[in-house]
Each structure stands twice: as C-alpha cells, then as structure tokens.
C-alpha cells in the first residue's frame, strides 16, 4: 500500500471499506506524522491515545456504511468537543472543557470519524494566519 498519509480522504475511505487498511493503521500513520511535525505547532490539544482506542474498537466492529468509517481527523480548536479542552486560540479559554458537543463535530462523529486533537487557530478564529493565537 502506498504511503497512507499521502492518500486522499476518498482513497482512505475506499481502502477502509475494502478492508485494505484498518482504522488503526491509518490513525497510527497520522499520529506518527503529527509527532514528527511538532515544530509546526499545529495542535493545541492532542487526543492520540483516545484516537487509537477508538480506532481499535472501530476495527473490531466496523460500520462500513458510514461516510467517514474510522477516519482520524483533527478539528480547529474553535469547535466545542465534549470533555476535551476547547480554547479557540485564546488565553481566556485556556482551561475551558465543554460539557457538550458542537453540532459540527457531532455530525462528523456520527459518520464514523475519530478525533486526533484540536488544531491551533487565530484567537476566536479572527484571522487566517494563526499569528494571533495565544498558543503560538
């Protein structure tokens, strides 16, 4: 199989549905790539251990009818994720842990995606270059 992280989303979905790849393999590949790229400061909060756990559970009982079956993704730290710190790139929200899930992320999880972590962003997403993130 060609390098996993170079595959498009549609290729990954197809390969998981055809059982050429497992969710665990894909998740590990993206975690390894993220670990090798720490200097880019892309993540505010990582959730790698939970992602691997969820990938293993998915592989044990896969639902291949989902649109994102066992696909690991990271979301901008602007979206609330239940029980996972959400800062919106701001110091004022540094310790905010929502007790609820945003509609956006809930829809993604409902389709089978797995959270790798929360991505850095400009404070309250007021910009496009991440220069105004507290976590820069």
Please tell me the pTM assigned to this model: 0.92
Sheet holding 43-46, edge to edge: 43-46, 114-119, 72-76
- Where do the domains of the chain lie? 4-125
The residue-averaged pLDDT of 53-72 equals 98
Please give the pLDDT value at position 2. Answer: 53
C-alpha torsion sign, points 58, 80, 42, 6: positive
The residue-averaged pLDDT of 90-119 equals 97
pLDDT-derived band at 125, boundaries 50, 70, 90: confident
Is there a contact between 44 and 96 (Cβ–Cβ < 8 Å)? no
Is there a contact between 101 and 136 (Cβ–Cβ < 8 Å)? no
Please give the pLDDT value at position 23. Answer: 98
Three-state SS at 43: strand
Percentage with pLDDT > 90 across the chain: 89
pLDDT-derived band at 128, boundaries 50, 70, 90: confident
């Amino acid at each position: 199989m060609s390098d996993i992280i170079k595959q498009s989303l549609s290729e990954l979905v197809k390969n998981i549905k055809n059982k050429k790849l497992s969710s665990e393999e894909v998740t590990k590949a993206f975690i390894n790539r993220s670990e090798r790229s720490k200097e880019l400061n892309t993540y505010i909060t990582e959730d790698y251990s939970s992602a691997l756990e969820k990938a293993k559970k998915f592989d044990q009982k896969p639902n291949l009818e989902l649109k994102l079956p066992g696909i690991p993704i990271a979301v901008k730290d602007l979206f609330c994720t239940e029980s996972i710190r959400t800062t919106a790139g701001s110091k004022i929200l540094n310790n905010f842990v929502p007790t609820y899930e945003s509609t956006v992320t809930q829809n993604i999880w409902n389709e089978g995606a797995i959270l790798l972590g929360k991505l850095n962003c400009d404070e309250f997403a007021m910009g496009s270059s991440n220069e105004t993130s507290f976590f820069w």
